[in-house]
Amino acid sequence: MERARAARDEAGARRTSLVDDAYAAMREAIRSASFAPGYQASEQEIATRLGMSRTPVHEAAIRLQEDGLVKVLPRRGILICAIAPDDLREIYDVIIAVEGQAAELVAGLPAAERAHAAGELARQTSVMEAAQAGGDLTAWGPADEGFHRTLVEQAGNGRMIRIMRTVNDQAHRARMLTLKLRRELDASLAEHHGIVAAIRAGDGGEARERARQHRVRARNELLPLLAELGLKHL
């Protein structure tokens, strides 16, 4: 009986791992636009493209649908969701609120934890500075994303982390598409330094406001760029 139970547990763990692998692969394909917005295919076709079997792809697609990245269409396969500018405006409303609260929470941590968080945020900002100096925007994007992910993770609120993961995945394509056209990279770096300084000082109100205004400016820059490009969906 114990052997049978162990075998079931092992099979269950293997199945979970396959679903996790399929989820990660599909999520990255969507973020990188390998699976472009509006792309629709059967579960088997997607599984073949990923070199996986259909069952974990099916279960991964259900999770991705909960994240707002795909729609599972009965008997018609999987549709990669496109994002409209109005969707992005709503997404930024969430980002502005959550990251402002996260910055305030991080600034309120005990001194040693606060110093560690500030150090991690400063490190990501340094990577961004090096990327900008070298003209390497492909390195800038992940470092910028890392800064904001770290800010929320250091706040220690699991629900905030899950919310931000979802909305950041939805906004990622727009940010990467317009990165080369954005004019305020110096301002972004200065704002990051301001957020870090407020956290180091333990000033929750200042950290919150700096984090909010940073994302407000980014939104106010990004949405007009999308309109200028004439993009109704991305």
83-117 pLDDT, tens per residue?
Answer: 888 888 999 999 999 999 999 999 999 999 999 99
Query: What would the mean pLDDT of 124-152 be, rounded to a whole number?
Result: 91
Number of domains in the chain: 2
Task: Identify whether residues 134 and 217 lie together within a single domain.
Answer: yes
CA distance 86 to 231: 11
Please, are residues 160 and 98 in contact by the beta-carbon 8 Å criterion?
yes
Is 234 within the bounds of a domain?
A: no
Q: What is the pLDDT of residues 15-54, one digit of tens each?
A: 678 999 999 999 989 888 889 888 999 999 999 999 999 9
- Which one, of 92, 98, 121, lies nearest residue 215 by Cα? 92
Rounded alpha-carbon distances, angstroms, from residue 32 to 28, 97, 133, 166, 234: 6, 26, 24, 15, 12
Q: What is the CATH number of the domain that holds 133?
A: 1.20.120.530
Q: What DSSP string describes 35-104? A: S-TT-EE-HHHHHHHHT--HHHHHHHHHHHHHTTSEEEETTTEEEEPP--HHHHHHHHHHHHHHHHHHHH
CB crowding 28-61: b at 16 or more within 10 Å, else e: ebbbeeebeeebebebeebbeebebeeebbbbbb
Q: How confident is the model at residue 9 (pLDDT cuts 50, 70, 90)?
A: very low
17 and 54 assigned to the same domain: yes
In a domain, 121, yes or no: yes
Whether residues 91 and 178 share a domain: the answer is yes
**What CATH number has the domain bearing residue 41?**
1.10.10.10
pLDDT for 6? 47
Q: Which of 10, 41, 63 is closest to 169 using CA atoms?
A: 63
The set of residues, in sequence order, having a beta carbon less than 8 Å from that of 8 and lying 6+ positions away, is none
Q: Is the pLDDT of residue 10 over 80?
A: no
- Domain enclosing residue 104, as ranges: 85-229
pLDDT at 166 over 60: yes
